[in-house]
Structure 1
Amino acid sequence: MKLRKVSAAAAAAIVLSITATACGGDGDSDSGSGSGGGDKIKIGIKYDQPGLGLKEPDGSFSGFDVDVATYVAKELGYDADQIEFVETKTPDRENALKRGDVKFIAATYSINDERKKSVDFAGPYLLAHQDLLIKTDSDITEATDLNGKKLCSVTGSTSAQNVKNDFAPKANLTERSGYSECVSALQSGAVDALTTDDSILAGYASQEQYKGKFKLAGLKLSNENYGIGVQKGDTETLNKINAALEKMVQEKAWDKAVADNFGPANYKNEPAPKIGVIVK
């Protein structure tokens, strides 16, 4: 291999280039500053909730939370190709923010007093309710109709326990490791209903293979105010996200996201909530 002589000016340029890279001059690096301008931004979402946060087989992402997060990131100065979605499972959401693994989290993250001790919340951006998913020809119209019937939810779910404690103490509770398994059990007739947030249920019912087979009972058994979690004390990011959410509603992009992700399930969503207003 032939080696060419390098002039002093060229050598100096190379040194400057290397120095700039070592000092963080790479525009593709993730500073987490939320300033845009070439950096990437890491956003926490769910990977396994159709209609809300789902990682598709081709590696892309879909769902209402994904659409909201993408819109917010754009308002923070990031293009779609600058977003890195990070899976944040329910038990790890607070820690992911504390560690700085993500800039913010949009992952069916219900705002409550306990979580507000360690996380700041923008929003809320969606008001969901605990509901039932049933077959389209089901005769279940009230939670009390579940007495003597088989009810499915995930292991450790508070939703199923709420039904047994408050509405149908004689319901036969079946617990599965995930909602997908409950949906399969509902389809086969092994259970009569599945319970969790209506937004999550609508996401499953909207999947192509389930269209027309399931419906939501339309019950409002609880109020779930979904917020966007940010690191405690990050007021600057919090305020920017709130402004982005307000703009999303004003531009009707919020309505479009609801229709795109929940429409096939005939999901009767609440109007876009007001920033800072928590429905108890």
Structure 2
Amino acid sequence: MKVPQAGAVAAVIALALTASGCGAGGEDKGTLPIGIKFDQPGIGMRETGGTFTGFDVDVATYVAKELGYSPEQIEFKQVLSNDRELLLQYNEVEFVVASYSINEKRKEKVDFAGPYFVAHQDLLTRANDTSITKAEDLNSKTMCSVTGSTSAENLKKNLAPKAALLELGGYSDCIVALQEGRVDAMTTDNSILAGYAARKGNEGKFKLTGQSLSNENYGIGVKKGEKDLQRKINEALKKMVQDGSWEAAVKKNFGANYKYEPAPAITTGS
């Protein structure tokens, strides 16, 4: 998928900010724009009717409460994997809670709070496909991931360099491609894949292969240099774990059978 040039994206974002009169700089304290995914069941999902569900939604709502905002004041904005940094840089959102794995390359452009969750990269295949049991099996297959995702980069560079890769704009597009047989597997974090496999209408159609191909530490992205906001978010995350809200959100969104790790220690900020 062709990614728009940064200048064009900046112009669009600037126009949107002018029209709304509200940026992440805080001119309008009445609303809090937060970037989330709209197409990840269990993580961040825009449901029919405009409501939002998912673990990241619950985390974002809790953090917003600690920052002094009610749920009614939150303005959830869709982010894609390849535009999260731009939306922060151009003040379109205050922070991003969108299965956003912390890595050194991203830390050059944004600051992170957290981590607040640990996931592991896995593969999702059609339920009747027995030809893929490990990552190396993809060397003769076609896999799907999202443009800008670290998962596809990890597979191509380290695990299955001969695999064909189809990069699409969203994981929901990959699910359709997998169901239609245009790809043999899709790859991303197991938390996201489990959400899709359990989604109503998908029961019995797909399966996770049970790989742990990476450790993905989800962080909350903030604009580079926003150290005070980073500190406040870290404090909110610690409180969410301490009062039991974190574990309740995990069980609510991923189901009783999902094998999750304990909340990770906060390692960002000073």
Q: Which of 191, 195, 211 matches 1:199?
A: 191
Q: Give unmatched runs, 5+ long, in structure 1.
A: 1-28
Tell me if structure 2 keeps the 8 A contact 1:109–1:226. yes
Q: Structure 1 pair 188/117, CA: closer, same or farther in 2 (3 Å)?
A: closer
Aligned to 2:210: 218
The answer for the alignment partner of 1:22 in structure 2 is none
Corresponding position of 1:55? 46
Deviation at 1:242, TM superposition (A): 0.7
Superposition deviation, residue 155 in structure 1: 5.5
User: Counterpart in 2 of 1:151?
Assistant: 143
Q: Is 1:229 matched up with 2:221?
A: yes
Per-residue CA shift, 1:181-227, capped at 9, x if unaligned?
A: 33223334454321122222122112111123322212111222211
C-alpha spacing 1:276/1:165, structure 2 compared with 1 (3 Å): closer
Letter in 2 for 1:197: D
Post-superposition offset of 1:103: 1.6
What is the match of residue 269 of structure 1? 260
SS in 2 for 1:129: strand
Q: Secondary structure at the match of 2:34?
A: strand
Q: Which runs of 5+ in 2 are unaligned?
A: 1-20
Distance verdict in 2 for CA 1:252–1:120, change over 3 Å: same
2:247 is matched with which residue? 255
Q: Which amino acid aligns with 2:64?
A: A
Tell me: CA distance 1:219–1:86, structure 2 relative to 1, closer, same or farther (3 Å).
same
The residue identity in structure 2 corresponding to 1:246 is K
Give the share of equivalent positions with the same residue, in percent: 59
Equivalent residues in 2 for 1:95-106, closer than 5 Å: 95-106=86-97
Q: Structure 2 vs 1, CA of residues 151 and 255 (structure 1 numbering), >3 Å: closer, same or farther?
A: same
Q: Any idea what the Cα deviations from partners look like across 1:66-96, whole Å, max 9, x if unmatched?
A: 1110011111111111111122333332232
Q: Which AA in structure 2 matches 1:274?
A: A
* AA in 2 matched with 1:144: E
- Give runs of aligned pairs for residues 72-83 of structure 1, distance below 5 A: 72-83=63-74
Alpha-carbon distance in structure 2 between the residues aligned to 1:190 and 1:92: 26
27, 31, 37: which one aligns with 1:46: 37
Contact 1:206 1:263 in 2 (8 A): no
Greater Cα radius of gyration, structure 1 or 2: 1
Q: For residues 257 and 167 of structure 1, do their structure 2 counterparts lie closer, same or farther at Cα, with a shift above 3 Å needed?
A: same
Change over 3 Å in CA distance of 1:182–1:32 after alignment to 2: closer
Q: Give 1:117-196 correspondences, 5 Å limit.
A: 117-139=108-130, 140-154=132-146, 159-160=151-152, 162-169=154-161, 171-196=163-188
| Cα distance in 1 between the residues matched to 2:226 and 2:149 | 31
Task: Report which stretch shifted further, 63-72 or 51-60.
Answer: 51-60
Aligned residue pairs, count = 248
Residue equivalent to 2:79: 88
The answer to whether the Cα contact below 8 Å between 2:81 and 2:147 also exists between their aligned partners in 1 is no
Secondary structure of the equivalent of 1:249?
A: helix
The residue type paired with residue 91 of structure 2 is: G
> Structure 1 runs of 4+ off > 6 angstroms?
none
Q: How many angstroms apart in 1 are the aligned matches of 2:126 and 2:254?
A: 17
Q: Distance in 1 between matches of 2:198 and 2:240?
A: 23
1:112-145 per-residue CA deviation (whole Å, 9 max, x = no partner) reads 2222223211001112222101234443332223
SS of the residue corresponding to residue 207 of structure 2 reads strand
Quote the Cα distance in structure 1 between the aligned partners of 2:148 and 2:96.
Answer: 23
Query: Match for 2:104 among 113, 118, 136?
Result: 113
